[in-house]
Structure 1
Amino acid sequence: MVATAIVPQGAATSSSTPDVYRAGRFEPNDFAIASEDNGSDGLILPLAGLRAVLEGNSVSNRRLGLLFSPADRFEEVLPLLGQLAVIAVDFPKYADGRGFSHAARLIRAGFGGEIRAVGDVLIDEIPLMRRVGISAFEVKNDTTRRYLSEGRDPSPNLHYQPGALPEPPAGTRPWLRRRAP
């Protein structure tokens, strides 16, 4: 069951929440991160804020999501997975790869909602983010937005190593090396 709550709207820090890139196109963002809250259908809260809302048993029509920061412990998030519609994995800077591990672990734990990359999302990381289960991207970088808008998505269709998502059926990957019998 996805949790919903009455959460007061914070002061917006930007005039609008960036569109979300999913399924090959930019779509309106239906979730806002708490610091950028503009009254969207859903609200993404940091772990401490989410816990406070869930413990308060406030109910409304607003869907809740988690802002999964690099320093958050996976074990603390695990019990909340069934109550979340979206998990926004934060990539605060290009060189911080902890979000990749978080996303892969969410998939392996059975999270069925949307996993969204937020923060410093760059074009060359998107193929790797998809491999670990991220399906939506809040892209603020102008170059990345332009490339994706032009259909210049660098994601390959063939992979040698398995990712976090289910792989094609056996025998359909002719490029995979097999040991001789």
Structure 2
Amino acid sequence: MTLITEQGAIEDRFFRADTIEAALSANGPVLVPLALAADFVEAKPGTEFGVSVPGSTPIDEVAPHLGRASLISVEFPAFSDGRGLSLAKKILRQGFSGTLRASGPLIADQFLDAIGCGFTEVELPETMANRQPFQQWMAAKETMTDHYQSGYGPGPSILQKRLAARKGA
């Protein structure tokens, strides 16, 4: 996996654990699936941890962990699935102040959208990182001027522009 921030590629501090046994035996910060988060906190109170959630997760299922987790990783199943962008905005509205990670097969053209929705880093599978290395992500940050998500960025979103054009036609 490749981890990218606005400043460039960084190393991941978190160990991704898919079972409670792996999470409990890890040294250092651990990233656990939402289903394991409560058990992990109970078994290892005070340990730094992150929670991995699918982009389709309702905010009320994530909310109980926002005050304790230092990382929320929103999993994108495909670059065409924007539910994770909406979830990121909801997580921030709930007061989360930790690291917000977009994880999955996103493309460089979505970098500004991800940042605009509150993500502080993007985790790419190696296949995507090989196809679009972090240098392309840095370039896209400077060249992409339109945005899909409403509520951030300068000017109207692409959808708002399309609706206005239809209305004017």
Stretches of structure 1 lacking an aligned partner (at least 5 in a row): 1-17, 168-172, 177-181
RMSD: 2.9
Shift of 1:73: 1.9
- Give the conservation status (yes or no) of the 8 Å contact 2:18–2:33: no
What is the aligned counterpart of 1:93 among 48, 54, 78? 78
Kindly provide the CA deviation profile for residues 112-139 of structure 1, in whole angstroms up to 9, marking residues without a partner as x: 0010011112111111111100110112
Matches within 5 A, 1:1-181: 18-35=1-18, 39=26, 41-54=28-41, 56-59=42-45, 62-140=47-125, 141=128, 142-148=130-136, 151-155=138-142, 162-163=151-152
SS at match of 2:9: strand
Kindly provide the CA deviation profile for residues 41-91 of structure 1, in whole angstroms up to 9, marking residues without a partner as x: 32111111112222x34236x411110112322112112211010000111
Letter in 2 for 1:147: Q
Higher helix share: 2
SS at match of 1:52: helix
TM-score by length of 1: 0.68
Distance 1:146 1:112 in 2: 25
Query: Taking structure 1 as reference, are residues 109 and 156 closer, same or farther at Cα in structure 2, changes over 3 Å only?
Result: farther
